[in-house]
Structure formats: structure tokens, C-alpha cells
Copies of this chain bind each other. A is one copy, B any other.
Amino acid sequence: MDDINGPQSASASAPPELLRLAAPTAPAARADAVRNRAKILDAAERLFAEHGVGAVSMDAVAAAAGVGKGTLFRRFGDKAGLAVAVLDARESVLQQQILSGEPPLGPGAPPGERLRAFLAAYARFLDTHLDLIRVSETASPGARYRIGAYRFWHRHVAILLHDARPELDADYLAHALLAPLAADLRAALTGEYPAARASAGLDRLVTALLRATP
């Protein structure tokens, strides 16, 4: 992911539906814009690491980056957009593994196995970057479902689920399976019980669904 509707990373041999989501064409870019974008991301990453994502205001990011607030918002839309951009590099790694990595995460394993592997991998990813993902999902209502990355994960889950169980409503159920991985819920459960328990529970749920008799 990148700017408001900039490029999105990733590319390899994989279902064309996913690729369409993963690599739109770049529009053009002015030198100062590129420079400022880098300055902003640097500053944001540094401040987030130092004070925690929640405690950093957009003003602070703009000041630390040495740019005006207008520039910051023009490039990233809102705080969720900035968080998404900071996350991007890390997200791409996972997307890459899905598109062209080793099974069971990458192509090759049976769809049910790939699905379970994905949910487990995403849960790990989520736990690692919980604060950042949470901001990217909750900074504005509905943000989660507008993000390119969510659409990527959703499409991936829907395709796998459809392959494994064609009689199910894969499109809706993909949303339902991703719902327990909303950062806000995961954050609320942290402290209540360990991440492993949540991951095991979710695996149980998807396993039950995969076994479903029509």
C-alpha cells in the first residue's frame, strides 16, 4: 500500500484475481512529493516506535517530518491511511508468501490447509503489529473494510473456501472468518487470554466449517 490510491506492491504467479488487487499501475510522481513522502514515513515510524501509535498526533508527525499538515493529509488521507502506509512493507512479506511462497501458505497445498495456514499466519502478523493495525482499522469508522489489504485477505479466504467447499457462501463466510481477527477484538482479548488460545479457537471454527456436510 502507498498513497491514497498509489501502487500496492506484490506480483508473482498466482490467481489473477489476487494480482489485480495487489499491483495497480503507478500514475507518475514529482520529485518533491517523493522526498516528502519518505520524510513523513520515516518520521512516523520513528515516533510510533518511540511513543506508541496512539500517543502520536498528526501534528507531531508533520512537525517531525518537517512538512505542513496539508501535505501529510493530502498524501495519506487520514491517520488510518498513514498507519496503512507504515505497515505496508511488512504486509507485503505476508502477501508475497501467499502468492508465491512455500506451501501450506503458498500455492500447492489443498485449499483447506492453505486456509488454516493463512489464518494462523495472519493471527501471528496481527499480534506482532497489533497497535498499528488497530489504528489502521479503527481511526475512522469502516476503515478496516475499505483498506486494500483487507480486500486482499478477504479475496484470498473466499477463493480458498470456495475451492474447499463450493456449496458454501464463501464470500460472506470469508468476512465472518476474518471478523474474529479484527484488531480491536484481538486487543480486547489480550490480557484475558493468550494469543495461542484465540488462534486455536479460530482454527477449531474453520475446521468445523471445512468439515461441514452439505
Min CB gap A177→B, angstroms = 8
Complex Cα spacing A106 to B169, Å = 29
Chain B residues within 8 Å of A141, by CB: 134, 138, 184, 187
Query: If A141-B138, A212-B204 touch, does A169 touch B187 (CB 8 Å cutoff)?
Result: no
> Which single member of B182, B204, B205 contacts A205 (CB below 8 Å)?
B205
Asked whether A175 is an interface residue with its Cβ less than 8 Å from the other chain, the reply is yes
**A-B contact sample (4 more), CB < 8 A, given A169-B204, A172-B193, A204-B209:** A146-B188, A176-B205, A182-B185, A208-B211
Chain B residues within 8 Å of A193, by CB: 171-172
Q: Can you list 12 A-B contacts with CB-CB less than 8 angstroms, sorted by A residue number? A: A144-B184, A144-B185, A144-B188, A169-B200, A172-B193, A172-B201, A173-B204, A173-B205, A176-B180, A179-B179, A179-B185, A205-B209
Quick check: B212 and A168 within 8 Å, CB to CB?
no
The chain B residue sitting closest to A193, CB to CB, is B172
Complex Cα spacing A85 to B193, Å = 30
Chain A 194-210 per-residue mask, 1 if CB under 8 angstroms from chain B, else 0: 00011011101101110
